Amino acid sequence: MRANANKNKRRRTQFGPAKNSKQRLYGAVDLGTNNCRLLIAKPMGFGFRFTSSFSRIVRLGEGLNASGRLSDKAIDRTISALSVCAAKLKELRVVKSRSIATEACRRAENCDAFIDRIDRETGLSFETISYEEEARLALLGCQSLLTDGLPYALVFDIGGGSTELTWARRNQVNGFEILDVLSLPFGVVTLAEGCERPDIDRPEYENMVSEIASHLPPFCQRNKIHKQVGDGQVQMLGTSGTVTTLGAVHLNLPRYSRSLIDGLELDFGSLDRATQMLSRLDYKRRAEVPCIGKERAELVVPGCAILEAIRRSWPVGKLSVADRGLREGMLMELMADDGVPIVGNPAERTHLEADAKPPPNKVH
């Protein structure tokens, strides 16, 4: 797979500089196995304020496991979504942007031809990044939520085609340095495609959890994570559609609200209850749950299985939910390259008290 050789090419986009330097806008496009996402923001204080966003489920990795290639239909869906992203970047005169592709493009035989077509049809210059770079950007975008003051952090990102786990240590300047990264070949799309039907029974769910968990011991042992967890020295943070969805289910939200989810703290008991509720529902009833819908109904239970394998392996007891990650990490770097003093945005919400009781879940 190829990546842009010279990162300095990102210092100026084809759309030119903004007229007012005080209102310089920056853009970040993240193309994953399941979603295409865009964020546009401007510096604000020591963080930034979003001025525009876009997200569309494109299922770029659909059928990739079987064929090893991106399908024509998936490519067409993705190009359509990226055309919207390009139009927004141009309309708002974004001065600097970065566009990245992750697991689906890392694995696809026809990735280079796909990247070339994106360039021709949308004008966007994409780079296919490594899983190490993916983990680094996710941590950078999320680390302002690691506020417990503990020396270690276990950060995970459950994607469509893979799951990245990052083991990090707090440094002297209140940031984090990465000690190790593990990329698992399991994502919500790949697991869902491996199931014969969208309704996953308990034995099949447990098999998923066991298979995922079997890949974790070497990562745990070489970093002595169990010891640090036992000593109460580890904070866990999750950034993915799985954890944000479980947060919304836990709060019984009638519609998704980032301001209520980003920075939410969930204990493992609450996660167990939300997981059990969703796994008991068939596909049709899961699709009726607010904040899930038809496009995510078959993906949320595989995501729960990945999360459960992580939680069983490292019983920290609670985790912080991040509705942020790769795009925010890219934005921070683009702004820092321009000399903007930036440390990241605080949580969108004040986390719930440990003994707060959410309203009961109701599924009609």
CATH code assigned at 39:
3.30.420.40
pLDDT, tens digit (0-9, with 9 covering 90-100), for 128-183: 999 999 999 999 999 999 988 899 999 999 999 999 999 999 987 768 999 999 99
The side-by-side arrangement of strands in the sheet containing 265-267 is 176-184, 163-170, 152-158, 234-239, 318-322, 265-267
- 361 inside domain: no
Q: What is the rounded distance in angstroms from the CA atom of residue 292 to the CA atom of residue 270?
A: 18
Q: Which stretch of 8-22, 85-99, 162-176 has the lowest confidence by average pLDDT? A: 8-22
What is the dihedral sign for C-alpha 30, 318, 307, 252?
negative
pLDDT, mean of residues 330-338 = 94
Q: Is the pLDDT of residue 11 over 70?
A: no
Give phi and psi for 127, each to the nearest 5: -125, 140
The verdict on 164 and 222 lying in the same domain is yes
CATH code, 256: 3.30.420.150
The count of structural domains within the chain is 2
pLDDT, tens digit (0-9, with 9 covering 90-100), for 246-266: 999 999 999 999 999 999 999
The verdict on 103 and 173 lying in the same domain is no
The verdict on 169 and 222 lying in the same domain is yes
pLDDT, tens digit (0-9, with 9 covering 90-100), for 306-327: 999 999 999 999 999 999 999 9
Q: Which domain does 55 fall in, by range? A: 7-129
The verdict on 136 and 236 lying in the same domain is yes
